[in-house]
Amino acid sequence: MLVPASVADYRLLAQRRLPRPFFDYIDGGAYGELTLKANQADLDALKLHQRVLRGASNIDTTTTVLGQKLAQPVILAPVGLAGLYARRGEVQAARAAAAAGVPFCLSTVSICSIEEVSAAGTAPFWFQLYVIRDRGYAKELLVRAQAAGCTTLVFTVDLPVFATRYRDVRNGMTGGASALGRLAKLWEIVRHAGWLLDVPLGGKPLTFGNLAQAVPSARSLEAMKVWVDAQFDPGVTWHDLGWVREHWNGPIVIKGVLDADDARAAADVGASAVVVSNHGGRQLDGAPSAISVLPRIAEAVGDRLEILMDGGVRSGQDVAKALAQGARAVMLGRAWAYGLAARGEAGVAEVLALLKRELEVTMTLLGIERVGELGGDAIDRW
C-alpha cells in the first residue's frame, strides 16, 4: 500500500481509485497538453536561492488575501464536478479548507449547490462564475452566493468556448461514444468498487447543484458541454464587467489572465485581484505557462491589484517560487482534486498540511521567515 508523501503520490492514489474517464478529466489538458506540461516544467526549471546561517527560526506562513487572513498563501481553486470524485466532494473540500485556514472557491459547475456547501457550516467561501448568456440565471447565482455568505467572486474569463481535451473525447466523456466505448466506460465504473459505493451509490443526487434546472444530469459531461456551448458567451467584453460589479457587493477576482494589458484592463474595471492562469492547461494549448508570465503581470499591475497565480503548483517549493515571482498567493487545482479523489476530506487536509510543511522547510532553507519577504532574491538566477 502506498503511503502518500507528496502531491504526486495523491495523484497515483486518485488514479487507482477513480474510473479512468474521471481521472483523465482531472488530470488532462487541452489538445496536445503542451501548456499543461509547461506549467509544471517551468516551475521545475526555476532554481531556489539557498541562504544559510540567517537565523530563520520563526517561520510564519500566514498572509492576507483581499483582507482575509490565510494560514498559508494557498486557496482551493474552483474545480468543477468535484462531487464526482468523492461523495459530496465540494462539502468535504470546503471543510478541509476551513480547518486548514485557507479559502475554498466553489465552481459554477459543482455537484453540491451553493446552499449545501453553506449549510455544511464551513467558513465563508468564495464563488466562481462563468460568463453566461442568460443574465437572469447569472444574477440568480450571484444573489444565491451572497445570501449564502460568499465573500469573494471569482469571475473566470478564459473559457468563452470549451477547448477540446482529447482524453475526454477518447473516454466518451463528451458524448459520441460507440457501444463498445460505453461498455468500456461501464467496465471502468464497475471495477472501481470503492468509488462506485462512495459516489454513484452513496453520493446522490448527482446533479449540478447550481444548475439543476438548466442541466438535468451530471452523469456525463455531454449534458454540461451542451449547456456550455449554448450558454458561454464569446462576445463578452470588459464593458460587461460593469454588470458583474453592479450585482456583486464585494471583491471581484478576474481569473484567467496571461497578458499585462488584460491585467491593466482588470484593474481599470475595478477588480480587486487577478489570477494569472491558463485554466491549468485546459484551454488555449500553446499559451505560455502561468509562472513564466507572472513576473511581467506583477510588474505591470502589482501596485493596483492583488496578484494570484495557478497552474502546476504541486509542492511547497512551487508555492515559494510563485511568491518569489510576484504572486501574493497561489490557487491549487489538481493538487486538491487528487487529494479529494484519493481520500476525501482527509486527503484534501493532508495535501494542505504537506504543502504547508514543505513551504516552512523551504522558507527555512532560503533563510526567510515571512512569506512577504519571498521576492526576487529567493530565485537563483545563475
Ligand X SMILES: Cc1cc2nc3c(=O)[nH]c(=O)nc-3n(C[C@H](O)[C@H](O)[C@H](O)COP(=O)(O)O)c2cc1C
> What is the set of active-site residues?
279
Residue 56 or residue 150: which is nearer to ligand X going by CB? 150
With cell 460593469, the residue in question is 242
- Residue 26 interacting with ligand X (CB under 6 A): yes
Buried b (16+ CB within 10 A) or exposed e, 287-301: bbbbbbbbbbbbebb
* Closest approach of ligand X to the CB of residue 180, in Å: 26
With CA atoms as reference, report the closest residue to 105 among 124, 89, 85, 133. Answer: 124
Site track 241-260 with ligand X (rule: CB under 6 A), x = hit: --------------x-----
3-class secondary-structure state, position 70: strand
Residue 79 or residue 293: which is nearer to ligand X going by CB? 79
Which cell numbers in the block locate residue 88? 459530496
Which of 18, 30, 65, 79: binder of ligand X (CB under 6 A)? 79
Instruction: Indicate the helix (H) or strand (E) that contains 44.
Output: helix 34-45
Which of 21, 73, 80, 172: binder of ligand X (CB under 6 A)? 80
- List, as one string, the DSSP characters of 207-249: S-TTSTTT----SSHHHHHHHHHHHB-TT--GGGHHHHHHH--
* Closest approach of ligand X to the CB of residue 202, in Å: 21
With contact defined as beta carbons under 8 Å apart, do 347 and 354 qualify? no
Which of 107, 113, 152, 174: binder of ligand X (CB under 6 A)? 107
Residue 105 or residue 371: which is nearer to ligand X going by CB? 105
State the number of binding residues for ligand X (CB under 6 A): 27
Q: Are strands 153-156 and 252-257 parallel, antiparallel or unpaired?
A: parallel
Residue 61 or residue 130: which is nearer to ligand X going by CB? 130
With CA atoms as reference, report the closest residue to 206 among 226, 231, 223. Answer: 223
3-class secondary-structure state, position 189: helix
Q: Are strands 273-276 and 252-257 parallel, antiparallel or unpaired?
A: parallel
Which of 207, 272, 277, 292: binder of ligand X (CB under 6 A)? 277
- Determine how many CB atoms are found less than 10 A away from the CB of residue 96: 26
Which of 17, 87, 279, 356: binder of ligand X (CB under 6 A)? 279
With contact defined as beta carbons under 8 Å apart, do 88 and 96 qualify? no
The amino acid occupying position 339 is G
CA trace torsion 49, 52, 57, 58 (10° rounding): -30
Instruction: Indicate the helix (H) or strand (E) that contains 65.
Output: strand 63-65
Q: Is residue 237 packed enough to be buried (19+ CB in 10 Å), middle (13-18) or exposed (0-12)?
A: exposed
- Residue 39 interacting with ligand X (CB under 6 A): yes
- Residue 20 interacting with ligand X (CB under 6 A): no
Residue 4 or residue 256: which is nearer to ligand X going by CB? 256
* Closest approach of ligand X to the CB of residue 279, in Å: 5
* Closest approach of ligand X to the CB of residue 267, in Å: 20
Residue 113 or residue 368: which is nearer to ligand X going by CB? 113
* Closest approach of ligand X to the CB of residue 342, in Å: 14
* Closest approach of ligand X to the CB of residue 108, in Å: 6
Site track 284-323 with ligand X (rule: CB under 6 A), x = hit: --------------------------xxxx----------
Instruction: Please name every residue paired with 104 in a beta bridge, in sequence order, or none if there are none.
Output: 76
Minimal CB distance residue for ligand X: 333
Backbone φ, ψ for residue 331 (5° rounding): -105, 140
Site track 176-205 with ligand X (rule: CB under 6 A), x = hit: ------------------------------
- Residue 97 interacting with ligand X (CB under 6 A): no
- Residue 174 interacting with ligand X (CB under 6 A): no
* Closest approach of ligand X to the CB of residue 352, in Å: 13
Which cell numbers in the block locate residue 245? 460589479
- Residue 347 interacting with ligand X (CB under 6 A): no
Site track 126-145 with ligand X (rule: CB under 6 A), x = hit: --x-----------------
Kindly list the residues in this chain that would bind ligand X in the complex (CB under 6 A): 25-26, 39, 77-80, 107-109, 128, 156, 255, 277, 279-280, 282, 310-313, 331-335, 337
